[in-house]
Chain A
């Protein structure tokens, strides 16, 4: 399995891209509560995750809870691997 730190680094880079800011969220930090993502940048992030990690996220998984932090995103990606 890919190094967890590397996965987190790739996720943070995606967040920086969609947020358009040089942010550095901690793994457990809520991306919504901290204002890093809104409803629309979340849709961009989901698309970016699919592309970056070559996974297909089904509609049933499209809930904000799964993408609320770097740690949750990492957990989701690993569950799909």
Chain B
């Protein structure tokens, strides 16, 4: 058994709205909103790092979970925008949180990294007890805020999220999860060395609009549930139009999908945990099954059921 015990997040203070970004990339701010559902995003300060944002999210999560750093047996840190090839940010996040000596695993995985981290944490918590999952991204440094980089610059923002998975107690049990990967379209969304992020948006939307609902349905069906039984869907905040398409494919109201993409944009692996943090603060106790879902570069995708 594994439980969700708390969420946390860190959002940089600098707000970049569509008028500011639109002027840089040469598009109408209203078009950005129509195409993405995003009104503004946050950009990290020059002194911020993926690890420093991740550590702040981790501290926020520990506080929400009512735990101390010494209570954590394992740290998993996901990021697709780390500043260097190695080491990844996991050990630095652990160090900043006062977890020196606690094993820290890097998941160099954008977008779906937090979901994979949660799923792994649920399994590893049997051996490690409390597992802190952190996802942190500084995407503003891997996009080009120029007309040439328009299609990615309008989407991405910076931030970090965290989740505490406990083997002992929490507000919801992680009942099941389903993870998938397929490298066939791995080149369609990638961050090469010394290059800005590359995204073939049409391919990614085609693939995600098919794979996300199918995976959610498979997860629900093997747990004898239907989409209508789910109280809340917490999905990677990639694009509002994609979230709407997934809701339509599942024949559930869009209102079942928690959304904060308008305020933060797509923060890659961090987005689902930032959304979960705000959802938990707004909603308090669990009112029914919750489905987490994510899709991203790899391609990696999956879903997780909490009850």
Contact = CB atoms under 8 A, between A and B. Distances in A.
Interface in B43-64: none
B211 A59 contact: yes
Contacts of A23: none
Interface of B: 35, 182, 184-185, 200-203, 205-207, 209-211, 241-242, 245
Given A60-B184, A64-B202, A64-B203, A40 B210 contact: no
A60 B299 CA distance: 12
A43 interface: yes
Nearest to B299: A59
Given A59-B211, A62-B210, A42 B184 contact: no
B184 A43 contact: no
Contacts of B209: 40, 43
Interface of A: 32, 38-40, 42-43, 46, 59-60, 62-64
A42 B90 CA distance: 39
Contacts of A42: 202, 205-206
A81 B203 CA distance: 24
B12 to A, nearest CB: 28
Nearest to B211: A59
Nearest to B242: A40
A46 B200 CA distance: 17
Kindly name the residue among B185, B201, B202, B245 whose own CB sees the greatest number of chain A CB atoms within 10 A. Answer: B202
A40 B241 contact: yes
A63 B203 contact: yes
A29 B95 CA distance: 57
Contacts of A38: 35
A42 B209 CA distance: 10
A59 B210 contact: yes
A39 B202 contact: yes
Contacts of B184: 59-60
